[in-house]
Amino acid sequence: MKQLLSFNQPVLQGSIRVPGDKSISHRSIMFGAIAKGKTVITGFLKGDDCLSTIDCFRKMGVTIEEHEETIIVHGVGFEGLKEPQDILDVGNSGTTTRLLLGILSGRPFHSVVIGDHSIASRPMKRVTEPLSRMGATIDGRHNGQYTPLSIRGGELTPITYELPHASAQLKSAILFAGLQAEGTTRIIEPEKTRDHTEFMIKQFGGTIDREGNEIIVQGGQQLHGQSIDVPGDISSAAFFLAAGAIVKGSRVSLKHVGVNPTRAGIIEVLEQMGGSLQIDGIPSKGEPIANLTVEYGKLTSTEIGGALIPRLIDEIPIIALLATQAEGTTTIKNAEELKVKETNRIDAVVEELSKLGANIQATNDGMIIQGPTELHGGKVNSRGDHRIGMMLAVAALLIKEEVEIEGIESISVSYPGFFKDLNSILSKQ
């Protein structure tokens, strides 16, 4: 689906409560299902990806009630999950695929996991290899590399596993398997990645330890249903943080945003670039939350790499746009994981922003951007990737001419109300 965007000297003023965190929403359904008793979730993200997770667990016999404001999961425990009669369709969701594999690897039944065109090209061996080592039988296209995957879970033995990639999805898959194995599973991360799974094990009454970069979990723990309040997704807020920072005259507040330090790299980058950002913490019993207020101002270039990358991996497309408006050369490195996201995000960002006049080059593990540049109108494509679609829509705010975005429907994967929220803070200079 095409969308024609044409903004005439827009200004963004006002506040938005962005939808619930995608990573936490997925996990709240999964933990709700493998815990015993009722889990009540507020702030759940009703985007396509998280709805796929609900669908998969329903197919395994879990009752999940969807209400206007809440989702209620009637947990059955790991042992209560049933062999699905139909294939488990994860849609576009890599998080559903990989975390689900960790859960299925310990279940004594057969299942088949399938997803869309993009999922079919995302690497799964990184997950199926350690899970097979623990005792699951998994096969798939190209020697178990790609979906469709078939899994027969089994009795799992714990492992000590050094992650070859700084990936929270991989870590979480092994944690879900470790919870079902008899004994102690140890995972060593090359860099710290988002720790929502670890946080939730504790929220649901379990224990998990961390010693430096090593995470230690015991199998056989009984988890209990909880009330979970999902904070706003900082990865969705990032689009409005960037828009507020680069659209002249803007001031935007994002309410109730999750600011877990393992996710909040975008805040550090905005500060490094000289952006005007106010962070007002809100007391929380769960994950850390804050109201964030950003104002338009002059930005300078920065360097992004190393341990910062996993803390902002999903924000790199919008950070690249920020860099086109910053004075100097911004370098993003150590981000080769971008090549295996919903699309190859190095190519997608560089090629699509170039069509709008950005001065941007791809490198092997990131990109180099010169700014500031005045962007111009053109025809661009989300390539079926929600974050590329939203980044291009924010780019259009800077452009006097028309911008035509192909594949705009992909935005519903993580932010179905994106344009409604954008319109709510849009006025003219």
Q: Name the site residues for ligand S3P (rule: CB under 6 A).
A: 23, 95, 167-169, 172, 194, 313-314, 337
Q: Which is nearer to ligand S3P, 7 or 44 (CB)?
A: 44
- Give the nearer residue to ligand S3P in terms of CB position, either 242 or 426: 242
Q: Which residue has the tokens 């689009």?
A: 239
CB closer to ligand S3P, 345 vs 373: 345
Residue 336's CB is within 10 A of a number of other CB atoms, namely 14
Nearest to 101 by CA among 158, 35, 170: 170
Closest to ligand S3P by CB, 107 or 194: 194
Nearer to ligand S3P, 170 or 405 (CB): 170
From 314, 365, 385, 421, the catalytic residue: 314
The DSSP code sequence of 320-365 is HHHHHTSBEEEEE-S-GGGGGSSS-HHHHHHHHHHHTT-EEEEETT
Residues 140-164 as b/e (b if ≥16 CB within 10 A, e otherwise) read beeebbbbbbbbbbbebebbebebe
Residue located via tokens 């996710």: 263
Nearest approach in angstroms of CB 23 to ligand S3P is 3
State phi, psi for 108 to the nearest 5 degrees. Answer: -80, 55
136 or 413: whose CB is closer to ligand S3P?
413
Q: In what order do the strands lie in the sheet with 227-229?
A: 63-66, 70-76, 36-42, 227-229
The answer to whether the CB of 87 falls within 8 A of the CB of 51 is no
Q: How far is the CB of 98 from ligand S3P (least distance, A)?
A: 7
Query: Alpha-carbon distance 237 to 243, whole Å?
Result: 10
Q: Which is nearer to ligand S3P, 191 or 404 (CB)?
A: 191
Q: What is the CA radius of gyration of the chain?
A: 21
Looking at the DSSP assignment, which residues form a beta bridge with residue 230? none
Please identify which residue in the block is written with the tokens 């990184």. 126
Residue 378, by phi and psi: left (phi above 0), alpha (psi -120 to 50) or beta? left
Whole-angstrom distance, CA of residue 246 vs CA of residue 365: 26
- For ligand S3P, the closer of residues 168 and 369 by Cβ is 168
Q: Is 177 exposed, middle or buried (0-12, 13-18, 19+ CB in 10 A)?
A: buried
If residue 151 lies in a helix (H) or strand (E), which one and from where to where?
A: strand 146-152
CA atoms within 13 A on the CB side of 9: 3
| Residue 21 annotated as catalytic | no
Task: For the CB of residue 95, give the shortest distance to ligand S3P in the complex, in Å.
Answer: 4
Q: What does the alpha-carbon distance between residue 239 and residue 317 come to, in Å, rounded to a whole number?
A: 10
What is the set of active-site residues? 314
